[in-house]
Amino acid sequence: MQIRFADARPSGEYALVLPVAGKDRAPLGSLGDAQQAVGAALDRQRFEGEASSVSEQFINEGGTVRRLLVVGLGAGSNGGDAREKLGGTAVARLLTSGEKTAVIDVNGLGYDADAAARVALAAALRSWRHDRYRTKLKDNQKPTLEEIVIVGGSSGAEQRYTSRWAPVVEGVSLTRELVTEPANIIYPESFVERVRKSLDGSGVEIEVLDRAQMEKLGMGALLGVAQGSAREARLMILKWNGGGAGQPTAFVGKGVTFDTGGISIKPAAGMEAMKWDMGGAGAVAGALKALALRKAKANVIGICGLVENMPGGNAQRPGDVVTTMSGQTVEVINTDAEGRLVLADAVCYVQRNFKPSTVVDLATLTGAILISLGHEWAGLFSNNEELAGELTKAGNESGDKLWRMPLGEPFDRLIDSPIADMKNVGPREGGSITAAQFIQRFIENGVKWAHVDMAGKAWSDKASFTYEKGATGFGVRLLDQYVADVLEG
């Protein structure tokens, strides 16, 4: 999708998008002779300008017929959400409409450079599609929209979009691509190659550990998950050195490219969705791309623990005991609680090798978090109040929203094992909390740590103003905003 900014509406064919705040009809004044008819149509439609509401009309403009979308912003709403809802709503309506160009006129709204750029950000995000395997799309199902022109807003909007938000679009797009691809296309080795190709020339340094290297390091937890699969595990290390003194910050992602549950096999119904169980690793890769493309002034390490969890003849069994890289032992009660085993070795590796001051891990970890928070928030667990507050703020600003969940010694006791240092699951109750407690056992003293359980957010069965049904790209904007606010701010 091409994004342009202009001071005035162009000539030629395009669909015109006019935003209105509540019942304020002032923007219709720019329609000239068509103003009265459009206003009357809005009245008959009982259009009240609520956020994301749309009235679609056709008007006569200079002897030609022009498609007009009047898009509601909501009364008195001038925040980031309203701006993004404007851009995303317009594109959702016009993407397959037959129109090639959409002009979104924000004159009169008082938008500064960032506000206008955020309209473009959402428009670009909402235009993302993955039609690679759809060979029989009808013409009216194919995207036609090629260009968005943002008219109005203060000077500097184009530069703001190009330098700040276009890189985020690229990062989110990479994550969505990785999450959407099926497991016969994206598995540990191909995940690495896809990310390597996407980051080529970005300045991100990439290192990859294979099975032999991880065996030498003692990563028995991560490799135990992978041992039933014909696809070998990988640990991918992404390094962005954007400047600044002090210890780096680490982002660690669970990358289970397909999760059958292993010997503790999942029900067949819906198992195809488990291709997105690598959403945490996908978010880390996308975030590093965004940070590199916008030349973020921060030092960040990204770790992607990549495995496939399969029930092969060599698969890990319930009751097996594995030794982690940290030296701690784990009794594997349920092989479908595999993500925390991957993260245990991944967070140990990054702490031992890079000495980060802060570790944030992201994982589609537990079904229990969906019972708690549905698909509205990801769960946030942390050992540090300041870090929890910073991530919550970044989530609210970016739209990748988080809800703080508890940690505590009573929950930690639930994962004690009678034959090992710990077991990988506790009771059914509090399942997302005991999973977080498990990961916390691998965090070294003095390291600030947060765990984001995004099981309800990597994939969506309903569309939003920044994504269609499917992969959301959750986590990229969260991490990017955290870096902007805390590491660069």
- Of the CA atoms within 13 Å of residue 450, those in its CB half-sphere come to 27
Given the residues 160, 340, 423, 448, select the one marked as catalytic.
Answer: 340
How are beta strands 299-309 and 249-259 bridged, if at all?
A: parallel
Q: What is the rounded (10 degree) CA torsion for 87, 90, 95, 98?
A: -140
Q: What residue type is 271 in one-letter code?
A: M
271 and 399 housed in the same domain = yes
pLDDT, tens digit only, all 489 positions of the chain: 999 999 999 999 999 999 999 989 999 999 999 999 999 999 999 999 999 999 999 999 888 899 999 999 998 766 568 999 999 999 999 999 999 999 999 999 999 999 999 999 999 999 999 999 999 999 999 999 999 999 998 889 999 999 999 999 999 999 999 999 999 999 999 999 999 999 999 999 999 999 999 999 999 999 999 999 999 999 999 999 999 778 999 999 999 999 999 999 999 999 999 999 999 999 999 999 999 999 999 999 999 999 999 999 999 999 999 999 999 999 999 999 999 999 999 999 999 999 999 999 999 999 999 999 999 999 999 999 999 999 999 999 999 999 999 999 999 999 999 999 999 999 999 999 999 999 999 999 999 999 999 999 999 999 999 999 999 999 999 999 999 999 998
Q: How many CB atoms lie within 10 A of CB 130?
A: 15
Number of domains in the chain: 2
Point out the domain boundary residue: 135, 155, 175: 155
440 and 324 housed in the same domain = yes
| pLDDT value of residue 75 | 83
| pLDDT value of residue 78 | 60
| pLDDT value of residue 15 | 98
Point out the domain boundary residue: 89, 124, 155: 155
In a domain, 293, yes or no: yes
229 and 263 housed in the same domain = yes
Q: Which domain holds residue 47?
A: 2-155
Q: Is 266 a catalytic residue?
A: yes
CATH of the domain at 296: 3.40.630.10
Strand partners, 307: 256
Structure letter (DSSP) for residue 477: H
Taking a C-beta distance cutoff of 8 angstroms, is the pair 339, 364 a contact?
Answer: yes
Structure letter (DSSP) for residue 264: S
| pLDDT value of residue 19 | 96
In a domain, 160, yes or no: no
298 and 174 housed in the same domain = yes
How are beta strands 64-72 and 15-20 bridged, if at all?
A: parallel
Q: Measure the CA–CA gap between 22 and 78, rounded to whole angstroms.
A: 11
Nearest to 235 by CA among 338, 332, 350, 340: 350
Taking a C-beta distance cutoff of 8 angstroms, is the pair 362, 283 a contact?
Answer: yes
Point out the domain boundary residue: 112, 135, 155: 155
177 and 288 housed in the same domain = yes
406 and 305 housed in the same domain = yes
202 and 83 housed in the same domain = no
Taking a C-beta distance cutoff of 8 angstroms, is the pair 390, 481 a contact?
Answer: no
Q: How many CB atoms lie within 10 A of CB 155?
A: 12
SS3 26: helix
Q: CA-CA distances (angstroms) from residue 199 to 170, 362, 481?
A: 10, 20, 20
Residues making up the chain, counted from first to last: 489
CATH of the domain at 107: 3.40.220.10
SS3 340: helix
DSSP labels, 32-68: GGGHHHHHHHHHHTT----TT-EEEEEEEETTEEEEE
Taking a C-beta distance cutoff of 8 angstroms, is the pair 372, 379 a contact?
Answer: yes
Token reading at 414: 């639930």
Phi and psi at residue 132, in whole multiples of 5°?
-55, -35
Q: What residue type is 477 in one-letter code?
A: R
Given the residues 129, 196, 211, 266, select the one marked as catalytic.
Answer: 266
Q: Measure the CA–CA gap between 476 and 458, rounded to whole angstroms.
A: 11
| pLDDT value of residue 62 | 83
246 and 115 housed in the same domain = no
123 and 175 housed in the same domain = no
Strand partners, 318: none
Q: Is 340 a catalytic residue?
A: yes
Q: What residue type is 308 in one-letter code?
A: E
| pLDDT value of residue 55 | 97
Phi and psi at residue 355, in whole multiples of 5°?
50, 50
| pLDDT value of residue 361 | 99
376 and 312 housed in the same domain = yes
Token reading at 147: 């260009």
127 and 149 housed in the same domain = yes
Q: Measure the CA–CA gap between 307 and 336, rounded to whole angstroms.
A: 13
Taking a C-beta distance cutoff of 8 angstroms, is the pair 362, 454 a contact?
Answer: yes
Q: Measure the CA–CA gap between 240 and 255, rounded to whole angstroms.
A: 20
Structure letter (DSSP) for residue 141: G
Q: Measure the CA–CA gap between 375 and 443, rounded to whole angstroms.
A: 28
| pLDDT value of residue 63 | 85
